[in-house]
Amino acid sequence: MDIDKLFKVPKYPVGGVKRKMPDNPTPEMLKRMRMDIEPDDTAVVGTTNGSHKDKGESRAAAVHDETGEDVSDNFAPGGDADYFAEEDEEGRFFGGGLTAEQKEILNIFDNASGDAQYMEDLSATGIRKLLLKLERTVNKNQEQRSKYPDDPTKFIESEADLDSSIKSLLPLAQVPATAYPELIRSNTVGLLVGLLSHENADIVIDVVEVFHELTDEDAGGEDADEEDSQSNSEALKSLVEALLENSILDLLVENLQRLNEDEESDRQGVFHMLGTFENLLSFNPSLATQLVSKTNFLPWVLGRIQAKRFDENRAYAAEILSILLQDNQNNRQALGKTDGIEVLLKVLSHYRKRDPADADETEFMENVFDSLCSALGEPSNKELFIQAEGPDLMVLMMKEKLQSCSRAIKTLDFAMSGSSGTRSCEAFIEALGLKTLFSIFMGKGAKKKNSTSVLPASEDTSHILGIISSLFSNIASETPERIRLLAKFVENGYEKVDRLLEIRDNARTRLRATEKQIEAQKKELIEAGEETDPEEEASWYLQRLEGGLYTLQSVDYVLGWVAMEDDGIRAHLSKMMDRKNQSLRDIVQTLKIYMENMDEEGSGDGSSQTVILQGLIEALNVN
């Protein structure tokens, strides 16, 4: 091994004769040495920077080896003349160790940090400066665009300045109580909304991003104290009102149709627009009706959720749609008139034989199901649901027992509920849904432990009971459909009745624990010398419903029907309840409580739930 090849010899001998200074040179000696240097024998390796201009011209130094060869050319990395020559005011040398390229990069960061410091000035005065700068930039850009409409090179610089000025408003969301009144007072809100019609889509996207940030309900920080939170909320309210006065909803929807999501920047713009819609709806839910009735947003969002490729914006569009339909009768009816029911079923059909790929797509699927369930609150949409073969699709999903299975059960519960759900109940039975429904109800087809069938999830159980209740309420007596339904409770030794009793026992156990909690709350009120009022009684009833009473009522409603219509079921039910020291009287008591707390919505024609409950109580022959 050649050691010399591993360790290169330096260019000049280590022991070479060089110009040396004494340990403590005098100023005169330094001056004389500088004058001795010949211009041709030097290699400039340093100049003073701008802050040292009072020190005169650049200083130089040279290094020579024994042969007189100048080796300073390659001594500084990158040939940077400033690499070594950094001096303080007294002429002392400090080696920075940076190349010209590195220094340029640092200068860029220094300038950026200077801008950041300026941006951090979020006082009223600093905010006014920002807004004034924006106004001037907008005017300059408009002027140059008007003057040189066919020559973008003439206004491209002002467009870049405008882009920067708009983005500089993003930090204003940190101080809404201070910034938002200034935005309104200076009419910057109108100026920004006007920019939504700008010819450059990138400028529009910048404005939308600012709106998305400023209208966030957490603007001002989540950790703000109560007083600051109140001030921030009032400022946000004023800003939203100002935006609505400037017709922001219409302009945002127009830009949704303008952007091309194949481009990354446009895709981000759509995301910020949807975020702005969500913020506005969160602040003022009544805007949902205006957004659907006054703009073309509903057709756009229905088209967007049908995209073949799943992405973040498609998921966001489904979420906004579910918000628009929630507790809004007008929007539900509008959905039906724009073929929305068929669109929703078409989107959901993709999950009949496959599960969503990830959590985001699962959330998308659930939002579409939620939208469909909300829409089925309207009788007219239930009819459209049948025409689009919705019950058939839901039954197929239940058979596959994938993630969509639970949502399909929930959807059928909504479609079949109430007197308007009669046709959905008939369509469900025609689609052979009874076999699939009771298979899930009995836990068949699921993984079993210790050879014992397992109960379906509690939410599924609740919706299955809702479906069975609707079937008994809506299917006419003595019809083939009614006979098929009742036969399900007779077959296999009344196993469905036994399953109902099992669910009933679980619900009673939960309800007893809830009753203990309520008694403890009542005791605290008595000890405090306070009296209960109707609001507290209503609150306790809701607590009981969540704590098992709702399930108990649903089970006893079904048991009441089967016991009334079939003597064999009634005898089996009485025998099984007697083993646990219970009787049909307990079912009747549950039905009475159910009837007393039910809101009367019937028309007096015998179809109301109250009339049905009264008939069940009388038919069980228990006073």
The predicted model gives 515-522 an average pLDDT of: 91
pLDDT confidence of residue 446: 53
Pairwise pLDDT comparison (74 vs 207), residue with the higher score = 207
Q: Would residue 145 count as lying in a domain? A: yes
pLDDT over 90, % of the chain:
62
449: β partners: 452
| Domain shared by 172 and 226, yes or no | yes
pLDDT over threshold 50, residue 57: no
- Domain co-membership, 159 together with 277: yes
Q: DSSP letter for 65, please.
A: -
Contact 367, 377 (CB under 8 A): no
Which pLDDT tens digit goes with each residue over 312-360?
Answer: 999 999 999 999 999 999 999 999 999 999 999 999 999 999 999 999 9
- Say whether pLDDT at 281 is over 90: yes
With tokens 């920075």, the residue in question is 96
Residues 220 and 186 reside in one and the same domain: yes
Print the SS3 string covering 22-54: CCCCCHHHHHHHHHHCCHHHCECCCCCCHHHHH
Q: What is the arithmetic mean of pLDDT over 591-597?
A: 89
Answer yes or no: are the C-beta atoms of 62 and 70 closer than 8 Å. yes
Q: How far is the C-alpha of 29 from the C-alpha of 588, rounded, in Å?
A: 116
Determine contact, residues 467/412, Cβ cutoff 8 Å. Answer: yes
d(CA 354, CA 351): 5
Closest CA to 73 of 95, 34, 45: 45
- For residue 272, give both structure tokens: 């910020």
Does residue 16 surpass a pLDDT of 80? Answer: no
**Is residue 103 assigned to a domain?**
yes
**Per-residue pLDDT averaged across 52-77, rounded?**
43
Domain-embedded: residue 349: no
Structural domain of 556? 508-619
Q: Which helix (H) or strand (E) holds 205?
A: helix 201-214
**Stronger pLDDT, 15 or 475, i.e. the higher one:** 475
The verdict on residue 275 lying in a domain is yes
In three state form, how does the secondary structure of 69-101 look? CECHHHCCHHHCCCCCCCECCCCCECCCCCCHH
Are 105 and 178 members of one domain?
no
| Ramachandran angles phi, psi of 93, nearest 5° | -90, 130
Q: What is the mean pLDDT of residues 274-301?
A: 95
Residues 155 and 264 in one domain: yes
The highest-confidence range among 46-60, 512-526, 550-564, by mean pLDDT, is 550-564
Last residue of a domain, one of 284, 318, 340: 284
Write the CB contacts of 239 (distance below 8 Å, at least 6 apart in sequence). Answer: 176, 180, 183, 184, 189, 214, 215
Mean pLDDT of 473-477: 92
Residue 430 — pLDDT band, cuts 50, 70, 90?
very high
Q: What's the pLDDT score for residue 383?
A: 96
- Cβ atoms < 10 Å from Cβ of 597: 14
Q: Is the pLDDT of residue 253 over 70?
A: yes
Which of 284, 306, 333 is the C-terminal boundary of a domain?
A: 284
User: How large a percentage of the chain has pLDDT more than 70?
Assistant: 76
Question: Which is higher by pLDDT, 255 or 72?
Answer: 255
CA distance between the termini of the chain: 110
Contacts of 123 (CB under 8 A, 6+ apart): 178
Considering the domain boundaries, does residue 274 fall inside one? yes
User: Where on the phi/psi map is residue 358: left (φ > 0), alpha (ψ -120 to 50), or beta?
Assistant: beta
What confidence tier does 15 reach under pLDDT thresholds 50, 70, 90?
Answer: very low
Based on the fold, state whether residues 93 and 155 are members of the same structural domain.
no
DSSP designation for 452: B
CA distance 468 to 477: 15
pLDDT at 52 over 50: no
Higher pLDDT, 170 or 24: 170
pLDDT at 54 exceeding the cut of 50: no
Q: Is residue 290 part of a domain?
A: no
10 lies in a domain? Answer: yes
Give the pLDDT mean for 524-551: 87
Same domain for 143 and 280, yes or no, is yes
97-139 pLDDT per residue, tens: 566 656 665 665 555 444 444 444 788 889 999 999 999 999 9
pLDDT of residue 38: 45
pLDDT of residue 21: 45
For position 101, what pLDDT does the model report? 58
Are residues 240 and 166 located together in one domain of the fold? yes
Describe the chain by its helix, strand, coil percentages, rounded to 5: 70, 0, 30
Q: Does residue 149 sit in the same domain as residue 272?
A: yes
pLDDT score of 180 more than 60: yes
CATH classification at residue 265 = 1.25.10.10
pLDDT at position 302 over 60: yes
Question: In the prediction, which pLDDT does 282 show?
Answer: 92
How does DSSP assign 556-605, residue by residue? HHHHHHHHHH-HHHHHHHHHHHHTTT--HHHHHHHHHHHHHTS-----SS
Residues 372 and 322: their CA atoms lie apart, in Å, by 8
Phi-psi region of 132 (alpha: psi -120 to 50; beta: other; left: phi over 0): alpha
Give which of 362, 443, 351 is closest to 396, Cα–Cα: 351
- 164 lies in the same domain as 275: yes
Q: What is the domain count for the chain?
A: 3
pTM of the prediction? 0.76
- Among residues 252, 284, 316, the one where a domain terminates is 284
Confidence of residue 601 (pLDDT cuts 50, 70, 90): very low
- 55 shares a domain with 195: no
Mean pLDDT computed over every residue of the chain: 82
Of the candidates 215, 221, 208, the residue with the CA atom closest to the CA atom of residue 235: 215
Per DSSP, the chain holds a count of helices (H) and strands (E) of 29, 0
Tokens standing for residue 84: 């070594």
pLDDT at residue 66 above 60?
A: no
pLDDT for the residue numbered 550: 93
Contact indicator for 201, 162 with CB cutoff of 8 Å: no
Please check whether residues 174 and 233 belong to one and the same domain.
yes
Mean pLDDT across 374-394: 96
The whole-number pLDDT of residue 148 equals 84
> Is 444 in contact with 453 (CB distance < 8 Å)?
yes
pLDDT at 378: 95
The burial class, CB within 10 Å (0-12 / 13-18 / 19+), for 323 is: buried
Whether 242 contacts 202, CB under 8 Å: no
Separation CA 545–CA 538 (nearest Å):
11
CA distance 403 to 411: 14
Q: Is 366 inside a domain boundary?
A: no
